[in-house]
Amino acid sequence: MRTGAFVRPVGVPEDLTAALAPVAWLWAGLGRASTGAWLAKNVRRELVQLRTFVGDAEGVAERRLAERLKRRLDRQRTPVQDLTAWLIRRGLPQNNGCWSTLCDDGIRIDSGGTCPSCDCLIGDRRGLRQIVATEVAAQHPHVAAGEWRGVYEDALRAKFDYQSAMDAMRRERAAERQVAFHAAIEEQKAQLAEEEVRRAARPCEDCGRAEAAGLCPVCSLRRSTKALVDQAVDIAVAVRADVDDPQAVGMLTAQVAEDTWAFVRGAGAPDGADDPVCRAFAEKDLATKLLEQRRQRALQRLRESGPAEMEAAHVRRMTLHGMFPTDKNRERAEEAAARARERVAQDLLREFLGDLARARAAAVPRKRPPAWSERCPDLAARPLDEDTVVDGAGAVRV
């Protein structure tokens, strides 16, 4: 007598007990532990997807999945013969009843309430039935009561087919636009890649080094250093020069620039390295520090100027007005005066730099524009008398 071997029932994994509660009594009939492990992996993957909608709060995603399984078991109304196939095809996948990514069988995944988008679709379908019924009643006023239902169903089917065709056409056009959009993006990416290759192959504009993308690292650092040195020179000249004397401004600018460049170019590369990039970087670093040092010195000098002291005294007096002369109030007034002094110093420095820029622009000789007789010699040779008239088309007739 042959007897079958005892097969131990497959248990629901502990971390999926809440999510698989509606089908826990079916899980034991899987028969193989490997099948249970494979199904558990799919369930966990669906829980990860649900957490993107409901968040990582403990137990929320499991509760939403259990509600989905119970809802679909109740709607099936027939026993589940194969749990594996039922879960993969019907139980686990999200079933969007509308366009919303949060819809699942007409239920919102995030809130668990009714999906408003599905309600809109239901309302549209009810409105469509009402419209078709009104049209049938208007077009067939004398149809018999027994035949009215058939006429209404035919008209409703035709209207629904028409709307379905229009929706399919809209989706097709939207898909074509999406394909064209992605094609344009890919084409633009290819153009940018080609432009990047061409740009990388360009020689340096300053030194001519090949394949430097238009500017090699050394020249790029030198340009940055020049911009920093120019700003440092402007600050030194702005607080010392008489902008009403263009010749003095030019001489002082040349002298300060020469001294500044001599100081910056005296910077040595770190660790005594003779690499041009290291030397250029060291010069830029020194120029940055020099610019900040000159700016702070200029601001300190302007903080001690007459306008800054006057503004600080005014702010101190207005802050203490109507207040008791306590140490705390005096400290508060001094802080306000210091802020006012700093504000005036910043404004004065900007004003001096602006005056310097305008003085330099005024010192540049401007080329006299040619006279109209030089620009239009053919018209200049014509006599302007009473016989010269202009017709409606704008042409000159003599």
pLDDT tens by residue, 111-161: 888 887 777 776 667 777 777 777 777 777 777 777 777 877 888 788 778
Q: Are residues 188 and 305 in the same domain?
A: no
Q: Which domain holds residue 286?
A: 217-363
Residue 393 lies in a domain: no
Enter the DSSP assignment of 20. Answer: T
Residue 394 lies in a domain: no
Give the domain-ending residue among 155, 176, 192.
Answer: 192
The yes-or-no verdict on residue 301 having pLDDT over 50 is: yes
- What pLDDT band is residue 233 in, cutting at 50, 70 and 90? very high
Residue by residue, what is the 3-state secondary structure of 275-311? CHHHHHHHHHHHHHHHHHHHHHHHHHHHHCCHHHHHH
Provide the strand spans (E) within the chain: 103-104, 107-108, 389-390, 396-397
Q: Are residues 301 and 255 in the same domain?
A: yes
Burial category of 361 from C-beta neighbours within 10 Å (exposed 0-12, middle 13-18, buried 19 and up)? exposed
Q: Are residues 262 and 353 in the same domain?
A: yes
Query: CB 35: neighbour CB atoms within 10 A?
Result: 13
The yes-or-no verdict on residue 392 having pLDDT over 60 is: no
Q: Are residues 359 and 226 in the same domain?
A: yes
The yes-or-no verdict on residue 26 having pLDDT over 60 is: yes
Residue 199 lies in a domain: no
Residue 169 lies in a domain: yes
Looking at residue 142, what is its pLDDT? 74
Looking at residue 55, what is its pLDDT? 85
Give the domain-ending residue among 86, 110, 134.
Answer: 110
Q: Are residues 235 and 323 in the same domain?
A: yes
pTM to 2 decimals?
A: 0.50
Looking at residue 155, what is its pLDDT? 80
Q: Are residues 106 and 127 in the same domain?
A: no
State whether residue 104 is helix, strand or coil: strand
Q: Are residues 104 and 133 in the same domain?
A: no
Give the domain-ending residue among 141, 157, 192.
Answer: 192
- What pLDDT band is residue 269 in, cutting at 50, 70 and 90? low
